[in-house]
Structure 1
Amino acid sequence: MDQLLNDFSPGLFIMQAVILIILIVLLGKFAWKPILESLQTREDGITDAINAAEKAKLELQNLQADNEKLLNAARVERDTMLKEAREMKDKMILDAKEEAQSQADNMIEAAKHAIDGEKKAAMVEIKNHVAELSIEIAEKVVRGELSNKDKQLELVDSLLGKETLN
C-alpha cells in the first residue's frame, strides 16, 4: 500500500477524475437515459400485461359463472321438457286406453244387438217351423181320422155333443 501512495500523482488523479465525470455525464446523457427509459417502458409493459392477465382472469371467472348459470338453466329446461313429455305420453296412453275401451264397449253392444236380432229371427223361424210341423201332423192325423166314414161321423157327433146350442 505504501507503494501505491508513493506512485500517487495528484495531476493524474484529477485528470482521471475529470475524465470519469465527463464519462459519467456522457453516459448519463446518451446511454443511461435511453437505458432507463427502455427499462421503464419494459416495466410499464409488464405491469400492463399483469393487469390485462388479471382482467382476463376475472372475465374468465365471470364467463365460467355465466356458463354454469346457463348449464343450470338448460338442465332445468331439459327436466321440464322431459316431465312434459312424460305427461303427454301418459295422457296419450290414457286417451288411447279410453278410446279402445269405448270402441270395445260399442262393439260389445253392437254384438249384443246382433245376437238379440239373430235370436229373435231364430225364434220366429223355429215358431214357423213348429207351426208347419204341427199343421203337417194335424193334417196327417185328420186325414187318418177322416179317411174312414164311420170315424168322420163319430167325430162330428162328438164335436156336436160338446157344443151346446143356444
Structure 2
Amino acid sequence: MDKLVNDFSIGLFAMQAVLLLIIILVMKKFAWKPILSGIEERENKIQDAISAAEKTQAEMKALQAQNESMMKEARAERDAVIREAKETANQMIEKAKAEAKTLSEKELENARTAINAEKAAAISELKTQVASVSLEIAEKIVRGELASDEKQKTLASKLAEDISLN
C-alpha cells in the first residue's frame, strides 16, 4: 500500500483521467445510440415472443375445444348410426331375420371402424400439434432467458473478474 502511495504520479493520473473522459465522450457519441436501439429491439422481440406464446396458447385452447366438439359430434353420429342400424334391423326382421342380423352387424362394425379411425387421426394430429407448439414455446423461452440484460450484465462482470484475475 505504501509503495502505491509513494509511486503515485499526478501527471499519469491526469493523463488517465483525460483519456477516460475522451473514451466516455466517444462512447456516448458513437456507441450509446446503437446500444440503446439494440436493447429496444431485444425488448420488442421478447414482447413479440410473449405475444406469440399467448396467441399459441389461445389457439391450443381453441383446438382442444374444437377437438372436443368433434368428439361429441362423432359420438352423436355413432349413436345415430347405431340407432338407424337397429331400426333397419327391426324392419328387416319382419321381412327376414337372417338378412337383418347380418346387415346390422356389418353396419355397426363399419361405423365403429370409421369412428375409431377418425378418433385415432384426431388424437394423432393433436399430439403432433402439441409437440410442435411445445417446442416452439420452449425455444422462445430459452431465447428470452438468454436475451435478458441482467443475465448479460452478470455474465459480463463475471468474465471481467476472470480476466482481471488472470
Output the TM-score relative to the length of structure 2.
Answer: 0.52
* 1:14 CA drift (Å): 2.0
Whole-Å separation in 2 of the counterparts to 1:29 and 1:90: 91
What residue ranges of structure 2 are gaps of 5+ in the alignment? 98-166
Whole-Å separation in 2 of the counterparts to 1:49 and 1:12: 50
> Which amino acid in the other structure matches residue 56 of structure 2?
A
Q: In the alignment, what sits opposite 1:45? A: 45
Whole-Å separation in 2 of the counterparts to 1:21 and 1:67: 65
Whole-Å separation in 1 of the counterparts to 2:79 and 2:29: 74
Name which structure has the greater RCO, CA cutoff 8 Å, separation 6+. Answer: 2
Whole-Å separation in 2 of the counterparts to 1:20 and 1:33: 19
Q: Could you report, residue by residue, the CA deviation over 1:87-137 in whole angstroms, capped at 9, with x for unpaired residues?
A: 12211221457xxxxxxxxxxxxxxxxxxxxxxxxxxxxxxxxxxxxxxxx
> Which amino acid in the other structure matches residue 57 of structure 2?
K
Say which is worse superposed, 9-18 or 53-62, in terms of deviation: 9-18
Q: In the alignment, what sits opposite 2:102? A: none
Q: In the alignment, what sits opposite 1:17? A: 17
1:8 is paired with a residue whose SS is: coil
Whole-Å separation in 2 of the counterparts to 1:52 and 1:86: 50
* 1:72 CA drift (Å): 0.9
* 1:69 CA drift (Å): 0.9
Q: Does 1:2 align with 2:2?
A: yes
Whole-Å separation in 2 of the counterparts to 1:54 and 1:29: 39
Whole-Å separation in 1 of the counterparts to 2:34 and 2:53: 28
> Which amino acid in the other structure matches residue 56 of structure 1?
T
Say which is worse superposed, 33-42 or 84-93, in terms of deviation: 33-42
Q: In the alignment, what sits opposite 1:152? A: none
Identity value in percent: 55
Q: In the alignment, what sits opposite 1:54? A: 54
Q: Could you report, residue by residue, the CA deviation over 1:14-46 in whole angstroms, capped at 9, with x for unpaired residues?
A: 221121011012112222331232133123202
What residue ranges of structure 1 are gaps of 5+ in the alignment? 98-166
Whole-Å separation in 2 of the counterparts to 1:21 and 1:15: 10
> Which amino acid in the other structure matches residue 92 of structure 2?
M
Q: Could you report, residue by residue, the CA deviation over 1:44-92 in whole angstroms, capped at 9, with x for unpaired residues?
A: 2022112201210121111111111111112112211221121122112
